[in-house]
Structure 1
Amino acid sequence: MRKTYYTLLFFIGIMVTSCSSDHIVLVKNGKTNYEIVHLGSASENQYKSAEKLQSYLQKISGAKLELVDESSQTLGKNKIYIGTIKEEELTPHQIRIRTENDNVSIAGGSDMATNNAVYEFLEKFLDCKWYAPNAEEIPSLTTISLDPIDFSYIPEITTRTVHSKLFYENPEFADQLKVTYEAFPTYVPSARVHTFHKFMPEEVFYQSHPEYYALREGKRLPTQLCLTNEKVLEIVKDSVSALFDRHPDALVISVSQDDNQQYCQCPNCNKIDVAEGSPAGTMIHFVNKVARAFPDKTISTLAYQHTRKPPKIKPEENVLITLCSIECDRSGPISEKCTDFADDLKNWGKLTNNIRIWDYTTQFTNFLAPFPNIKTLKPNIELFRDNNAKWVFEQHSHNPSELFELRSYITAKLLWNPNLNFEELLEQFTNGYYHEAGPFVKSYVDLIHSKLSEDDDFFLFLYGDPSEAFNSYLSPEMLDEYSRLFEQAESAVASKSEILKRVKMARMGVDYARLEASRKNLSENYSLTLSDENGIESINPKVALLLDNFSNTAKENNITLMNEMGFTVKEYGSNYISALEMAKKPNKAKGKKVISITNPTKYADENPMVLTDGALGGSSFYANWLGYVGTDMEVIVDLEELQHISSISMAFLQVTNHVVFFPTSVTYYGSQDNKNFIPLGSVKNLKPLTKTSKINEINYFDQKFSPTEVRYVKVVAEAEKTPYWHHYAGLPSWVFADEIIID
C-alpha cells in the first residue's frame, strides 16, 4: 500500500513540472527501459487499451514492453502510464498525452476516452495508420524517440457513427478510427427509428379502433398515429415501459413517426400544428408526455420531412431530437445547397441542446453509382459541429458502395476532428490504401467532383440514378476519361494482387455507370447491340465483357446489394442479360411514333417516345421509365404501315416503398385504322401486391397470338391501387413502363 501511495505522489509531482526540453527514447536498437503501467484499479477496457499499446509498440520496434500495475512497477525503469488519476479531472471525452521527466502519460476521462488516447498517440506521434480492416500502415523502427509532448483534446462531436459494416463487423477498426460499433448505441434494439407501427401495429388495432390512426381527407388510415388521442398515448407509454423492462440496460428509445408524410389532420391535431407552426407541434407535445413518464431515460424522436421544421414548444430535457437531412442536394455543402435544413438546425438549437444529426452520404437507389459528394463531408460536419450537435450519425450504405473504404475512412476521421485538412486526408488514404495507384484514384475523385461543380443546376439526390448525369459529369466523354484513369491505376499495381483487387473494386462505380450508359444507347461506344450490314442486331461484346468484369469483381469482394431495396448484384446481372436479349430482338416498334392517351408525369421528360427509343430501363424509376401516377397507362404505337405481328412484350417496374407497383393487368389491342381496335391478348400480373412483395423488380408482360395484320398497337396497363396497409395509403400509385417490343 505504501509503495502504491509513494508512486502516486511521485507521479502527481512530475505531472506538474515543466516538460523536458530533450526528446525521450522509448526504444533504442530494439531494446527498451520502459514498462507500461495501468493506473489505479484499471477496468478491463483500460487494461485492453494498455495491451493494445504494448502490441503496437512491439510491431513497430520488436521490443516488448512489460505491462504492470502500480503495485508491481520496476524501480529504475521509465514508465508509460495508461489511465487517469482523480487529480487530473479530465472530462469524460477528453484525452491527454504528455511526456514529463522521461515518462509518458496517456490518459482519458473515461474508458472510451483512454482507448481513444492510445490510438491517438499511436497515430499522431508514432505515425500508425489504419485505412480499413486488415489494411494498416505501421512503421518499422529499431529506435522510437519522442519530442516533448503536451497534447490535450476534447472531441466536439462526442458520439460518432458511420453506418458502415467496416466498423460494425470490425470493432477494433472502429476503435482505431474512434467511432461506434453500432448504429444506435444504448438504444432499445427493437425501437430505434420509425416506431409508431411497432408500438401499435395496424394488424392489431386498425379494424377495431381506426380512430387511433391518422385522419386523411375524411378517412382514417394506418399511416401514422393520431397524436391527440389519449388512448394512443396510453398504449405507447405501456409499450415503451415494456420495452425498457425487457432491455434494462438500454438508455434510449425512439418514439417516432413512420416513414411517410401521411400525418393526422383531425381537428384536434390540426389545431395544435397550426398553433405551433409545424406538424412537429403534435409530435413534440406527444413525445414530451412520454418523456415525463420516463425521466431517467432518453426519448428520441425524429425531425424528419414533415416534422423537420421546429415548433414553438420546447422539447423536454430528456427528449433527443434526431434531425434528418434527407431532402438535401448533395452537389454542394448543406449550408449552400440546402439552406432550409441549415435554418431548421439553427432553430432547433434555440429550443434544445439535445440534438442528434442523421445525415446521409450515399445514393440509396444505386449504392455502386458514382456519387461525387465526398468533398461536402467536411463542410457538412463542420456545420453540425458549429450548431452544437454532439451526436452525429452518418448514414453510409452499411453494405459496400462506391469508394466504400475511402468514404468510411474520411467520414470517421472528420467526425473525430472536423478541422482536419480534407485534401491531406484524401491523399493520405489514396496513397496508403491504393499504393502506386493512389494518384490515379485521387485524380478520379478530383475530376468527377470538378465536373459536377461546373453544372450549377444539377441536383445530386440520394434517390437519383446515373442516367440523370449522362449530360453532366457522367457524359460518354467523361466516362472514357474516368476509365483511362482506372486503367492507369490498375497498370500501376499490376504486380500487387491484393492492391489490384482494391483498385478493381474502386472502379466499379465507373463500370456501373458505363453499363447504364450502354443500356441507354448513348453513343456508338455505349450501346447494348451492334448492327451488321443487314441490320441484324447482336450483343455488343464490350458490354458483355464489362458486365462480366463487374459481376466477377462484386463476387470476389462479397458485394451483394445494388440498393437499399434489396435488389441484388445477381439480379442486376440477370436483368441486364435479359435486357441484352431483348435489345437484339427484331422490333417493328423501334423508333416508331407513340401517342399517350393518358398523361405521363415527370419522368423521362414525359416523352412517350421513350417506349420505342431502343434504350432499356434500369432498376430505378429515373432510368428511362415513363411514369403514370393515379391513372392507368394507355398508349398507341403507330407502325406506319400495315404489318403482320404475332408477339408483344413490354417491361414494367416495381419499387414498392416508393408506391411504384406492377399493373394488375396489361392488355394489347390492334387496329388498321386507329379507330376500331381488336384485343390481341391480356396478361395478368402473376405477382399480386402483398406486404411481402419484392421491393425492387422488373417484369416483362409478354403476349403471343396468331399473326395479325395491324398498323396501330394499343397498350392499356391497369394501375394497382395503393392498399390501405401501405405506408403511403391514401396516395395514388405509379405505373412505370419501358420499351415495347413488337414482332
Structure 2
Amino acid sequence: MKRFVVFLLALSAAQALTLVDKGASKYTIVVSAQASPSEQRAAQELQRFVEEMSGARLPVSADDKPVRGPMVLVGDSAALRQQKLQVPFDKLGPEGFVLQASGNHLVIAGGRQRGTMYGVYTFLDQLGCRWFTREVSRIPKLPTIAVTRYAQPEIHKPAFEYREPFFFEAWDKDWAARNRTNGNHAQLDASTGGKLQYYPFVHSFYELVPPKEYFPEHPEYFSLIDGKRRTERGQLCLTNPDVLRVVIARVEAWIKEHPDATIFSVSQNDWEGWCECDRCRRVEMEEGGQHSGPLLRFVNAVAESIGQRHPDKLIDTLAYWYTENPPLRVRPVKNVRIRLCPIGICVSHSFGQCPRSAYFYKNLQAWSKITNQLYIWHYNTNFSHYPMPFPDFDELAADIPLYKQHGVVGLFMQGAYAAGGGGEASELRAYVIARQLWDASTKVEQAVQEFLEGVYGPAAGPMRAYFDLLHGEVRGPGGRHLWIFNVPDYSAGFRSKAAELFAKAEAAAGDDATLRRVRKAKLPLEYYGVLRDTEFDVHGSQWGPADLASLKPRALDLIARMRTFGIQSIHEGQELARDEKRYNEMTSVPLFTIENGQWRADVVPELNARVVRLIDKSTGRDTMRRFPPGEGAYPFVGGQVASVHTDYYAKALDVTWNVDTQSSERLVLLGQCANGLRIRRIFELNAAGLHTSTVVENAGQTPVSAALQVRAEYTPGDIDKASMSFTRINGQRVEQAFITPNHEPTDKYTWNGGEKPSREWKLLQGGGQPLFVRFQDEQVGRTYLSWTAKSRAGAQFLLWSPEKTLKPGETLKLDADYGAVRP
C-alpha cells in the first residue's frame, strides 16, 4: 500500500506539471553551452512548436547562465546533473532518450548525436503533433499544455538502428528528422545529427574493379561464364587472390575520400553472371551449393583486413537474387552487415502467412541464426510502374514487426525514388513506414487514418473508402497476390467503383489545396485505366489496342497532368518523355492468320515474327501466354518467337522481317540482320498444332558466329496444379510440379548434354489437355525452361541450336512443333 501511495503522489506531481497555462508559461528551455548541433535544433524545434500550439514562446538559455523558475532540460547539461537524476546515457546509444518529470522540471535528454532531438519530437508527437508530408502537418491548438506522464522515466530507443524510407518525398531534411529517420539518402546534415551514411550505396563490384581498367590485362579478375571471361552482365572472380588485393586497396581509398561514411559496400552487380571457374564452384559446393558462399568468404576477408586499421567502419554486402540463400558454413564477421533482399515475395500478404513467400521466410530465419546484425532491403512499390495501385499496407503492418522479432537491426524500404516523386501513395507509405521503423508496434490502421484525415480533411471519408476498396482486392480468401514488377489484374468492377469514390472526394474537398491533393492521389487509378486499355488484340487484320484514336490523347493528357505535379518518371530508370514518345508513336501493326479445322495461328511480323495467338479450336483456348500491357517489353512479349545471337550469352540481333508467301495454312517470313545473317521462318498448321522451321544463313562474305534460338510461352492453366515432364537423352524420366513448398513461385533450368530433354517436353496443365513442344535432338545444343506464377502465370520452353561459326553460305536450322496432346 505504501508503494502505491508513493506512486500516486509522484503521478500527482507529474499531473501538476503545466508547461503552458492559457497561453502563458513560466518555463525556460535549457541546453548545455556545449550542446551538439542536434541538441540546439531540439531546443529550437521545441520552442517553435510549443509556441505554434499554445502561443507561448519559451525562452532558450544555455546552462552557463542562471535560470529562475521551472525548466525544460533538453539534453545533458550541468543544470540536468544538478537534479541528480540517474539518466542512463551510457545505455541510450546515439539515438535513445529519456522523458522524465523531476519536481516541476521536464527532462528530455538522450544521445548527443540524435537522441535528444528525437526525444523532443517524441514529446511533441505525444502532444498530437504530426508531420505528414513536407507541406502538410498537424499542430494541435493547445492553449494549456499539461504534462500528465513521466512520473516514472520513459526510456525510448528506436526499433531499428538504420531506418530509411527510400521515397523522394521522404528525403526532405525537416520531414526526415521530425519523423525520426536516419537513412543515407535523406538530406540530413550536422544540424540533425547526421545520418547513417554509405559509400557507395550498392552494386559496387565494377566500381571496386573497373572493367575498363583491369579487363584488358587481367580478364581472370572477372566471371567465367559459358567458358569465357566476361564483363557484360558479369561479376568478379571471388576466389582470385589478386581481386581481393585490389578490392581491399580500393576500399582503403574510399575510406580516405569519404571519412564521414560508416558503411562501405562490397556488393554484387545488379544482375546474375556469377563466376563458374573451378575454384568458385568448389567453394560453392563446400557451402552447400550456394552462390552466397564465395561472396561471403570474399567479403569477410575484405572486412577482416579493413577492420584491423578502421575498427569503426563496416562492410556491407547483399543476400540478393542468386545469393539470397545462406551459405552452409561461413558466417559473417562482426564488422559485416548483410542486407537480405526479399525481391521475389508477394507484397500483398505477410511473408509469414503467404505460401508464395514461404521460401523467403525460411531464408530470413536462416540468416537471422548466423548473424545478429542483419539488415533488410525491402520493396514498397511497383518498379515497372510507379503509379500502379499497390495495396501493400497489410503486408507492411505484419512484416515490419516480423523483422523485429527475427533480430533485424536495419531496414531500407525502397519505394518510388525518382526525382519529383509521385509514386502511388508515396507520401502516405513513407509516413506510415517511418512510424513503424521507429516503433514496430505502431498501429498501421490508425496511422493511415490520421494521415488521410490530416491530408484530405473533409474528403478523408471517400479517400478511406478507396483505400479499403483497393486493399479489398488482395484481402480474404482468394485475395490476389502482388509483386513488384508485374501488372495486376484487378477485378472487373474495381475501376468504376474507385472512380465513383474519387468523384465524391473531389466534391467534398473544401479548398483548392485539398482538391489538388485528391487529384494527385487519383492519378494512379487513371494510369491503371490507360495501361489496361493499351492491351493489344486482334482487330480484323491488325494487332493493337481496341480504341487507339481515343487512347492516345487520353494518355498524353494524363502525362501532361503528371508533369504539373512535378512527376518526372513513372518507371524505374526511365524519364516521363519516354512514355510520351511511346504513346505518340503507338500504332496497330499488320497481323497474318493461318488456319485449319483444328487450329488458328496469328503471326505479327513487326513483333519479331511473333506468333501472338495459337488457338485450339476444340476448346477455344489460346495456348500462348498473353501478358498484360505494360509488363516486360510489351508488346514484344509472349507467344512463340525466334532470335539469332552470336553465342548463348549474347543479346539477340536486330532483325527486319518481311512476308515472303502466305496460304491458308502456311506462312513464310524472311528476316535480315545487319551483320549479313539472313533468316527464314516457316509456319505450318497440321492436326496436332503448329510446325515452325527456322533457318539462319550467312549471306555475307566473311564468317559469322551464330546461335539460333526458338522459344514459346505457354499458359499453364491453374499453376498450382501444373507440372512439366520429359525424358532426358540419357534416358532419365523427369516429372516436376511447378509450385513446391518453400520455393519461390518462379524458377528456371538449363539442360545440356545428356541432361537435355529428348524430342519432346510436355506441360501438364492444371485442367485441360497437356501441351507439348517437339523437336529433333540433333538440331538442339541446349534447352532452357522458365516458369512463373507471378501476374499471369506462364511457362517458357526454349531451344538453342549449337553455337557455330557460319562460313559464307552455311546455315543453321531448328524445327519445332507446338500443340496439344489429344485424348
The TM-score range, normalised by the shorter chain, is 0.7 to 0.9
Q: Is the 8 A contact 1:606 1:626 kept in 2?
A: no
Partner of 2:326: 310
1:40 Cα deviation after fit? 5.9
Q: Which has the larger displacement, 61-70 or 674-683?
A: 674-683
Pairing 1:290–2:290 present: no
> What does 1:67-466 correspond to in 2, within 5 Å?
67-75=60-68, 77-84=69-76, 87-90=86-89, 91-92=92-93, 93-124=95-126, 126-149=127-150, 150=152, 151-168=154-171, 170-183=172-185, 185-189=195-199, 191-222=200-231, 223-277=234-288, 278-295=290-307, 296=311, 297-311=313-327, 312-337=329-354, 338-399=357-418, 400=421, 401-454=423-476, 456=478, 458-465=480-487
- 3-state DSSP of counterpart to 1:479: helix
- 3-state DSSP of counterpart to 2:473: helix
Q: Is the 8 A contact 2:537 2:544 kept in 1?
A: no
Partner of 2:661: 671
Instruction: Supply the distance in 1 between the matched residues of 2:320 and 2:637 (Cα, whole angstroms).
Output: 29
Instruction: Supply the distance in 1 between the matched residues of 2:668 and 2:613 (Cα, whole angstroms).
Output: 27
Pairing 1:491–2:498 present: no
Instruction: Identify unmatched segments of 5+ residues in structure 1.
Output: 1-15, 531-536, 634-658, 686-713, 723-729, 736-743
Instruction: Supply the distance in 2 between the matched residues of 1:616 and 1:419 (Cα, whole angstroms).
Output: 39
Q: How many residues of Structure 1 are paired with residues of Structure 2 in the alignment?
A: 632
1:683 Cα deviation after fit? 9.0
Instruction: Supply the distance in 2 between the matched residues of 1:672 and 1:357 (Cα, whole angstroms).
Output: 56
1:377 Cα deviation after fit? 0.7
Pairing 1:558–2:566 present: yes
Q: Is the 8 A contact 1:663 1:717 kept in 2?
A: no
Partner of 2:491: 475
> What does 1:562-581 correspond to in 2, within 5 Å?
562-566=570-574, 568-579=575-586
Q: Is the 8 A contact 1:359 1:395 kept in 2?
A: yes
1:668 Cα deviation after fit? 0.6
1:325 Cα deviation after fit? 0.8
- What percent of counterpart residues are identical? 24
With normalisation by structure 1, the TM-score equals 0.77
Instruction: Supply the distance in 1 between the matched residues of 2:602 and 2:537 (Cα, whole angstroms).
Output: 23
Give per-residue Cα distances to partners, 1:616-640, cap 9 Å, x unaligned. Answer: 985532755434799429xxxxxxx
1:144 Cα deviation after fit? 2.2
Instruction: Supply the distance in 1 between the matched residues of 2:253 and 2:784 (Cα, whole angstroms).
Output: 37
1:268 Cα deviation after fit? 1.4
1:220 Cα deviation after fit? 2.0
Match of 2:601 among 594, 602, 621: 594
Tell me which of the two structures has the higher relative contact order, counting C-alpha pairs closer than 8 angstroms and 6 or more residues apart.
Answer: 1
Give per-residue Cα distances to partners, 1:72-95, cap 9 Å, x unaligned. Answer: 2332x2111101357412311322
| Greater share of residues in helix | 1
Q: Is the 8 A contact 2:388 2:424 kept in 1?
A: yes
What is the letter of the counterpart of residue 379 of structure 1? A
Instruction: Supply the distance in 2 between the matched residues of 1:224 and 1:332 (Cα, whole angstroms).
Output: 33
Question: Measured at CA, do residues 448 and 605 of structure 1 come closer, stay the same or move farther in structure 2, by a change above 3 Å?
Answer: farther
Instruction: Supply the distance in 1 between the matched residues of 2:454 and 2:36 (Cα, whole angstroms).
Output: 34
CA RMSD of aligned residues (A): 4.0
Instruction: Supply the distance in 1 between the matched residues of 2:31 and 2:70 (Cα, whole angstroms).
Output: 13
Instruction: Supply the distance in 1 between the matched residues of 2:46 and 2:380 (Cα, whole angstroms).
Output: 33
Partner of 1:702: none
Give per-residue Cα distances to partners, 1:150-202, cap 9 Å, x unaligned. Answer: 4322222121111012222x11100111112534954453x221111111122
- 3-state DSSP of counterpart to 2:166: strand
1:218 Cα deviation after fit? 2.2
- 3-state DSSP of counterpart to 2:19: strand
Question: Measured at CA, do residues 546 and 476 of structure 1 come closer, stay the same or move farther in structure 2, by a change above 3 Å?
Answer: farther
Q: Is the 8 A contact 2:100 2:106 kept in 1?
A: yes
Instruction: Supply the distance in 1 between the matched residues of 2:535 and 2:430 (Cα, whole angstroms).
Output: 31
What is the letter of the counterpart of residue 360 of structure 1? Y
Q: Is the 8 A contact 1:629 1:733 kept in 2?
A: no
Give per-residue Cα distances to partners, 1:682-729, cap 9 Å, x unaligned. Answer: 6979xxxxxxxxxxxxxxxxxxxxxxxxxxxx99999x999xxxxxxx
Give per-residue Cα distances to partners, 1:418-444, cap 9 Å, x unaligned. Answer: 111111111111111111111212211
Question: Measured at CA, do residues 210 and 528 of structure 1 come closer, stay the same or move farther in structure 2, by a change above 3 Å?
Answer: closer
Q: Is the 8 A contact 2:346 2:481 kept in 1?
A: yes
Instruction: Supply the distance in 1 between the matched residues of 2:131 and 2:538 (Cα, whole angstroms).
Output: 42
Partner of 1:626: 637
